[in-house]
Amino acid sequence: MVVIDTPSFSLLSYSTLCCCGLVLLPVNPDVFAARGVEIMLEGLKLKIAPYPLPKVLAFMNKAKTWGGAPTYETSFYLDEVRRVCDQTVTRLQLQVKTADTWIPERVDIKRAIPRGEIPRQFMPHFAALWDEIEKFI
C-alpha cells in the first residue's frame, strides 16, 4: 500500500507505484485538489502501464466540519472527486473508488505527529477508513 500526498512524481515514485497493489489518495476539499485527481490518475495510467495497475482509493482529508458532519463545501468537493473517479473507471479502465470516510481537519493531528501519536478523536475516522480499505482490497 502506498499513500500519495504530492502533486508531482519522480522516477522513484513511479518505481514504487509499479510494485504496489493499492494507492491511497488523500484529497483536500478545494477546487485544485478536486481537479488534480483526474490529472494524477491519468499520469498513473500512462507511467505505470504495462505493469499491473494498482487499485486507487481516494478519500477526503482535512475535511471541514460543522456539528460533527462535513460542511456543504466539503461535501461538494467529495462529490466532485467521486464523479471524477467514476468517470476514470470507465475511461481509463482503472480500479478507482472514492471512500465515504473523511478525515476531519484539526490542528491536534499536526501536533501529535512529532510525538508519534494519533489523537483519540481521530480513531473512529481512521478505523472507518481502514474498514473501507479492507473491503476495497
- The C-alpha atoms of residue 37 and residue 108 are separated, in whole angstroms, by 27
Give the model's pLDDT for residue 87. Answer: 87
Residue 129 phi/psi, 5-degree rounding, is -65, -40
pTM for the full model? 0.81
Give the model's pLDDT for residue 53. Answer: 80
Q: Is the pLDDT of residue 79 over 90?
A: yes
Q: Is the pLDDT of residue 110 over 70?
A: no
Range of the domain at 13: 2-136
Q: Is the pLDDT of residue 2 over 80?
A: no
Q: What is the mean pLDDT of residues 3-32?
A: 77
- The C-alpha atoms of residue 93 and residue 14 are separated, in whole angstroms, by 19
- Residue 94 or 18, more confident: 94
Return the CATH number at 45. Answer: 3.40.50.300
Burial of 51 (0-12, 13-18, 19+ CB in 10 A): exposed
Q: How far is CA 114 from the centre of its chain?
A: 22
Q: Please state the domain count of the chain.
A: 1
